[in-house]
């Protein structure tokens, strides 16, 4: 097994130990010759023979079963109906192929040989340079005045993985909905899938869901056991509309043209409905419009060359409905909470206004969010990151856009970046 697959298994080890139904896997593992009968017997005798002990031993032994061990294991999961685990591993395995060349310190340049007889997780020779970097990060995180290492000031984000991230990407809408195809949304989805995977989340993508299917997907996520995880992220990329609300405006559309209020979406994850996320941050990122108004902005003393080019044709941004020009989603999202603690809702635009999206580059909001996270997530908390996003997006284009957020977090949140 190559180093990337080995790291992926270790990253999801806790989830696999918690969720794996090993008793259903034995025949599939034997049929694919991943293990021989005597190896299966050894795994079944592991520890006290409990399901968790067997799962733990299976994942450890899998690392020594050859270069195709992980894809074969994923196929075993699919065959035995453990599709959620299969999807998480497959999606993140594909993502890692893109991330590994860009990510420093993820592995040594020359992979170390793995001792097939070594059963302990994390045992064996350590890379000294990597260990020194880890110790240095520990000193920084625990330094006086640094909130990242202070549980009273910042959320604990130490689990591996940190949590689930569900991305709902609605691109194609029914004819009856009278909503246009959201060209460019797949660009946004790809960026966010890579970004949250790099932040140690298990990313799942669901595409083109009706309003009912959106609700079921969110309920399924909320009903999982998050007790071993530290956070949960929901991203919705869709058209939007204004809706009646108690505190916050808006709703997002399913592909059938029916709206789902963000108030309902957020309440699915409140402390009563999802107790295993109680006291843990629940983050919502909404790329959709907040209304149909187009903001022309107001004049300020000066703009940078990036914001306004002399001699440029203002018609290019003033005619957003041309085929190759900017298009807009159709209104943003909401959240009204009986117990609003540990909730953070990020909007792509101010309520009542459109949210701009480019067919080839994706939306202003997601493009900027991805760039800001890339540059600053290692050192700044979530609120500071989103302020940077708001400032950067507000300076774009002739038509304007103002992202914002509703923060009901009790502490600072620093993403896990290493």
Residues serving a catalytic function are 239, 289
DSSP string, 197-217: HHTTEEEEEEES--HHHHHHH
Contact 13, 62 (CB under 8 A): no
Among candidates 252, 254, 323, which has minimal Cα distance to 289?
252
- Alpha-carbon distance of 394 to 402, in angstroms, equals 5
CB atoms within 10 A of CB 294: 16
337-204-197-200 Cα dihedral, nearest 10 degrees: 60
Burial class (CB in 10 A: 0-12, 13-18, 19+), 331: buried
Reduced to 3 states, what is the DSSP secondary structure of residue 243? coil
Residues 6 or more apart whose CB falls under 8 angstroms from that of 27 comprise none
Contact 211, 251 (CB under 8 A): no
**φ, ψ at 166 (rounded to 5°):** -105, 125
- Conformational region of residue 163, where left means phi above 0, alpha means psi within -120 to 50, and beta covers everything else: left
Q: Where are the alpha helices (DSSP H) in 274-340?
A: 315-318
- Alpha-carbon distance of 221 to 88, in angstroms, equals 13
Contact 341, 410 (CB under 8 A): yes
Report whether the peptide linkage leading into residue 207 is cis, meaning its omega lies within 30 degrees of zero: no
The sign of the CA dihedral 348, 353, 359, 361 is negative
Name the strands in the sheet holding 356-358, side by side, starting at the edge strand that comes first in the sequence: 327-328, 356-358, 362-363
Name the strands in the sheet holding 251-253, side by side, starting at the edge strand that comes first in the sequence: 240-241, 251-253, 259-261
């Amino acid at each position: 097994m190559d180093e990337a697959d080995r790291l992926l298994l270790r990253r999801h080890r806790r989830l696999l130990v918690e969720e794996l139904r090993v008793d259903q896997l034995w025949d599939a593992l034997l049929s694919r010759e991943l293990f021989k009968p005597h190896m299966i017997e050894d795994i079944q005798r592991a520890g006290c023979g409990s399901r968790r002990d067997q799962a733990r031993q299976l994942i450890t032994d899998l690392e020594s079963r050859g270069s195709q061990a992980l894809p074969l294991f994923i196929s075993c999961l699919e065959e035995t109906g453990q599709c959620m685990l299969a999807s998480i591993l497959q999606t993140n395995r594909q993502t890692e192929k893109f991330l590994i060349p860009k990510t420093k310190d993820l592995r040594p340049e020359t992979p170390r040989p793995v001792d097939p007889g070594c059963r302990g997780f994390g045992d064996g020779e350590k890379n000294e340079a990597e260990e020194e970097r880890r110790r240095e990060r520990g000193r920084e995180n625990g330094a006086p005045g640094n909130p990242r290492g202070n549980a009273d000031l910042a959320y604990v984000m130490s689990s591996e993985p940190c949590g689930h991230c569900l991305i709902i990407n609605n691109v194609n809408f029914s004819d009856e909905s009278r909503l246009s195809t959201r060209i460019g949304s797949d660009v946004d989805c790809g960026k966010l899938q890579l970004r949250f995977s790099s932040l140690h989340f298990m990313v799942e993508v669901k595409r083109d869901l009706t309003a009912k299917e959106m609700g079921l997907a969110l309920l399924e996520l909320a009903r999982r056991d998050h007790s071993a995880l530290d956070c949960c992220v929901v991203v919705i990329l869709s058209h939007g509309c204004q809706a009646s609300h108690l505190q916050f405006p808006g709703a997002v559309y399913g592909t059938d043209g029916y709206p789902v209020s963000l108030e309902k979406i957020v309440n699915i994850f409140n402390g009563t409905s999802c107790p295993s996320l109680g006291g843990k941050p629940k983050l919502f990122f909404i790329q959709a419009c907040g209304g149909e108004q187009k903001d022309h902005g107001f004049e300020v003393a000066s703009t940078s060359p990036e914001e306004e080019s002399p001699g440029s044709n203002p018609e290019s941004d003033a005619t957003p409905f041309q085929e190759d020009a900017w298009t807009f989603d159709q209104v943003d999202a909401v959240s009204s909470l009986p117990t609003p603690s540990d909730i953070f809702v990020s909007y792509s635009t101010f309520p009542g206004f459109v949210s701009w999206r480019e067919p080839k580059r994706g939306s202003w909001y997601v493009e900027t969010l991805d760039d800001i996270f890339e540059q600053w997530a290692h050192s700044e908390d979530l609120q500071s990151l989103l302020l940077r996003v708001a400032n950067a997006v507000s300076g774009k284009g002739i038509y304007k856009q103002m992202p914002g957020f509703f923060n009901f977090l009790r502490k600072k949140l620093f993403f896990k970046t290493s």
